Amino acid sequence: MLRAARCRRQAPQARARNPRAYSLDLGPQVAISGSMKQFLAVSALGKDRPGLAHDLVRTISECGASISDSRMLPMGGEFAMQLLVTGNWHAMARLESELARLGEATGLALHMRRTDPRALREDHIPYSIDVIGPDHPGIIAGLAGFLTARQIEIAEIASRSYVAAQTGAAMFAVQMMINVPARQPVAQLREDFMEYCDSQNLDAILEPVKN
């Protein structure tokens, strides 16, 4: 992620990231007519074990569908997967049946829903937020409340708690992607946001996304 202008307070150099969190773009690159293209949102949760992700993505590939977007990461002793799958009508119908069988055979909790492609928000500007601070209840709720009160759309949230290597202090890190209305005065938003983070003892960066 490219950064442009940093706020007056910056998060520490060492950003906390989950080394096992990753995204996949797998499956055959099938030529699909725009009029026939279907979208299926899939959410899956199962006991963390080697090969769990492969079972799911292999089934998608064998049904002739493609993974357009995905998020996969461990959640405690479970492994969570969220995917947006695309394909023609026949591939989607077959996939829904095969995933149901996979869930029954492996104990994987699956939820599927047909959906539509996300509309472009040309009247919004994408920004990224990075926040790090001492762990305490309500950090994400407070950030979400601040943004929602200003009619700012939250596109993505990723967070994790961790222990600081040198001090052993309990820390919390949040990364967000937001869509700021083009009419929103960004300078005022940045000032208000930094003041809010200061009041919560949080270090933060708010900057536009370049790509």
Q: Which residue has the higher pLDDT, 82 or 18?
A: 82
pLDDT tens digits for range 156-185:
999 999 999 999 999 999 999 999 999 999
Domain positions in the chain are 38-115, 124-208
Nearest in space to 172 (alpha carbons), one of 138, 134, 128: 134
Sheet holding 78-87, edge to edge: 66-75, 78-87, 38-47, 109-115
- Say yes or no: domain 38-115 is CATH 3.30.70.260: yes
So what's the architecture of 124-208 in CATH?
A: 2-Layer Sandwich (3.30)
Tokens 């960066």 label which residue? 205
Residue 31: pLDDT band by 50, 70, 90 thresholds?
Answer: very low
43 pairs with which residues across the strands?
82, 111
Nearby residues of 185 by Cβ (< 8 Å), 6 or more positions away:
none
Query: Same CATH fold, 124-208 and 38-115?
Result: yes
Query: Mean pLDDT, to the nearest integer, of 71-92?
Result: 95
Tokens found for residue 194: 């930094």
Look at residue 56 and tell me whether its pLDDT is greater than 70. yes
pLDDT of 18 above 60 = no
Q: Which residues pair with residue 74 across a beta bridge?
A: 79
Q: For 63-68, what is the mean pLDDT?
A: 96
